[in-house]
Structure 1
Amino acid sequence: MGTAVMLKTSRHVIEFISGMAFITLSRRMGLERSSQFFGNLFTKIGPRFPQNKIAVRNLTAAFPEADEAEIKSLNIEMWHNLGMFFGEFSNLDRLRAEADTRINISGWDLTQKTFDEGRGLIFFSGHMGNWEVMAAATQIFDKDVMGVYRKANNPFFEKWITKIRNKSTVTKLVQKGADGAKNIIKTLKAGNTVCVLNDQKMNDGAELKFFNRRAMTATAIPKIARKFNIPMVFVSVQRRANSHFDVVFHPPFLPETTEDAHQDILNTAQKMNDILEEAIRQQPAHWLWLHNRWK
């Protein structure tokens, strides 16, 4: 084993030990206390992280009409939401067990009607509020829903995160990539549903508009949706007080299907960006502004 590999492994082990201490504390506190504690903690330590510069830059560019005080307030509230998310993630099983009283679901009737047609569904959302809540809510339609995710950099955390999600949100998970696309297609062809978060840093795809700036946007999901004519549903998650959430299933829509396949895919991807942006603007501090989505 080379020195670089050993150093990387050692760093992963240290991160995991520190993370498990965090998780143990969070579990002992319980859902609401943990959410509140880490939310308050992150407002103090978050702005000290190097990534905070990215968040401030993104917020400033997205809201050019906001003054410095407003940007600072949004930034602090973003860290508060992220801290609450981490406190809640360690207690996802408890959140799921209390879903009837903690998660208010609306707009499901149109989605249920579309799902009953047996064509499959693609649910998409973004990293807002507590984004794990979306996957849990979709199971009211389909117990076999598949979640698409990005593999964690730390392999020790990857096992733990997968275990938590399997117990609390979705039992079927697939990583982004070529193999993942095959499983997505198989799931949709069977008439089941797929959940994706399509809003963070992209290194490939198409350069489309997002918050009035050009941003690399993933096109794999619009491409699959168009090829198999799969209905798409945007799911918004809004945080309320004390680890309660509003989950809204927006009206289903079909991808564009004209003779110009390439333009259809771009138009559908742009529509996804537009829908997501509109939802973020309703609670801008609750979206994750820490990624270099724009270049």
Structure 2
Amino acid sequence: MKYRPRHVAEYVVLRVIGFLMARLPYRLALLIGWLAGAFSFFIVRYRVTEACRRIKQVFPDRFTDREIRKVAWHSWRSFSFNVVDMFRLHLIDQKWIERHVVDFAPARDMIQAHCRTGQGAIIASGHMGAAEVSSVLMQQSEVPIFLITGKQKNPLVDKYLFVMRGRTGIPTVQRGSKLLKSVIRQLKEGGVLAFLADLRVSPNGTLVHFLGHTASVAPGMAKFAKQTGVPILPMVIRRIGWTHHQAFFTEPVLPDPKVAKIEDCARMTQEVFDVIDRTVQETPEQWFWFNKRWILDPPTDETPTR
């Protein structure tokens, strides 16, 4: 199979960066991530104007323009650090967790107690802190975690990311025609799905109240829970400084067998987004404001799932 020159170039750059990030001391790797982030934010100004507009949209009276730029920079810096962490996921072990994760015992004990029941679960989080790290924390806690992944446009990069995730030992399910059956089967067998909830889906999304607006979001999380009867466990993960993390669960969101599917899925989705909303309100600099699909863009005219 022949690859486009652009795909080859992207792949080579990614491999070189991955090689360096995995072998440098953690703080030095983060410093390089900081420098790359600062260059793209302050010099290239990649999506900075759009991110500031979004922050102003959500917090019209809370921040000055200078404070908005500070929130945007810290959000982008956190993303840059997360890229570094992604290349180092296979290095996370119990010693790393003890050194870098603050007060993790309550979250670990809670999820382990749930897994001992033999029931599956869905861990729902937003684009906050180091989301990729949270999955490895679960895997290191002997939780049967699995992920849903998308296919990259660059086939070389897609293969590389697949291999890189595989080094952590976390199974993945790729989006496609067999996604639903595979996820349902694993949840019924006691698997735990890690799910990033705050993604815009329009049309055919579920409408929620979020950050003072109406958002159309992915319905899959609640549908999986309703069909299998497993709880949704909202998780909050935050970065503390450069090298430390905090992860904890909030109250579980349970499907109600007495309520019709559409209404119950809408309720569960809203409850999860209430958690994400509170977290963004508390630490807006930890949320990712730069994604191409803005979650608060108005839903399309087509009828969404309620």
* Alpha carbons of structure 1 residues 270 and 288: separation in structure 2 relative to 1, 3 Å: same
Structure 1 position 183, deviation (Å) = 1.1
Distance in 1 separating the partners of 2:273 and 2:176:
21
Residue aligning to 2:90:
93
Residues 144-200 of structure 1: CA distance to partner in whole angstroms, max 9, x if unpaired? 3211222333222222222222223x5200123442221111111112211111213
Give runs of aligned pairs for residues 241-260 of structure 1, distance below 5 A. Answer: 241-260=241-260
* Alpha carbons of structure 1 residues 203 and 142: separation in structure 2 relative to 1, 3 Å: farther
Structure 1 position 13, deviation (Å) = 1.6
Residue aligning to 1:294:
296
Say whether the 8 Å CA contact 1:222–1:265 is kept in structure 2. Answer: yes
Structure 1 position 143, deviation (Å) = 4.6
Give runs of aligned pairs for residues 109-258 of structure 1, distance below 5 A. Answer: 109-168=109-168, 170-204=169-203, 205-258=205-258
Once the two structures are overlaid, the 10-residue window that deviates more, 21-30 or 79-88, is 21-30
Letter in 2 for 1:83: S
Letter in 2 for 1:267: R
* Alpha carbons of structure 1 residues 95 and 114: separation in structure 2 relative to 1, 3 Å: closer
Distance in 2 separating the partners of 1:268 and 1:191:
20
* Alpha carbons of structure 1 residues 196 and 126: separation in structure 2 relative to 1, 3 Å: same
Distance in 2 separating the partners of 1:225 and 1:87:
32
TM-score by length of 1: 0.89
Letter in 1 for 2:113: K
Q: What is the CA RMSD across the aligned residues, in angstroms?
A: 2.3
Say whether the 8 Å CA contact 2:139–2:170 is kept in structure 1. Answer: no
Q: Which runs of 5+ in 1 are unaligned?
A: none
Distance in 2 separating the partners of 1:137 and 1:107:
10
Once the two structures are overlaid, the 10-residue window that deviates more, 108-117 or 172-181, is 108-117
**Which of 12, 16, 30 matches 1:17?**
12
Letter in 2 for 1:294: L
* Alpha carbons of structure 1 residues 228 and 88: separation in structure 2 relative to 1, 3 Å: closer
Give runs of aligned pairs for residues 39-78 of structure 1, distance below 5 A. Answer: 39-47=34-42, 48-65=44-61, 66-78=63-75
Residues 196-221 of structure 1: CA distance to partner in whole angstroms, max 9, x if unpaired? 11213334412322211121211112
Structure 1 position 32, deviation (Å) = 2.0
Distance in 1 separating the partners of 2:38 and 2:201:
27
SS at match of 2:123: strand
Q: Which runs of 5+ in 2 are unaligned?
A: 298-306
Tell me if 1:102 matches 2:84. Answer: no
* Alpha carbons of structure 1 residues 256 and 275: separation in structure 2 relative to 1, 3 Å: farther
Say whether the 8 Å CA contact 2:115–2:143 is kept in structure 1. Answer: no
Tell me if 1:30 matches 2:25. Answer: yes
Say whether the 8 Å CA contact 2:238–2:245 is kept in structure 1. Answer: yes
Say whether the 8 Å CA contact 2:124–2:197 is kept in structure 1. Answer: yes
Structure 1 position 273, deviation (Å) = 1.1
Distance in 2 separating the partners of 1:72 and 1:211:
19
Distance in 2 separating the partners of 1:210 and 1:176:
26
Distance in 2 separating the partners of 1:110 and 1:192:
15
Distance in 1 separating the partners of 2:80 and 2:30:
7
Say whether the 8 Å CA contact 1:56–1:75 is kept in structure 2. Answer: yes
Structure 1 position 271, deviation (Å) = 1.1
Structure 1 position 233, deviation (Å) = 0.6
Give the paired residue count. 289
Structure 1 position 53, deviation (Å) = 3.0
Residues 270-293 of structure 1: CA distance to partner in whole angstroms, max 9, x if unpaired? 111111121222321121111221
Letter in 1 for 2:84: G
Q: Which runs of 4+ in 1 moved over 6 A?
A: none
Say whether the 8 Å CA contact 1:39–1:87 is kept in structure 2. Answer: no
Structure 1 position 140, deviation (Å) = 4.8
SS at match of 2:178: helix
Distance in 2 separating the partners of 1:142 and 1:176:
25
Distance in 1 separating the partners of 2:40 and 2:32:
13
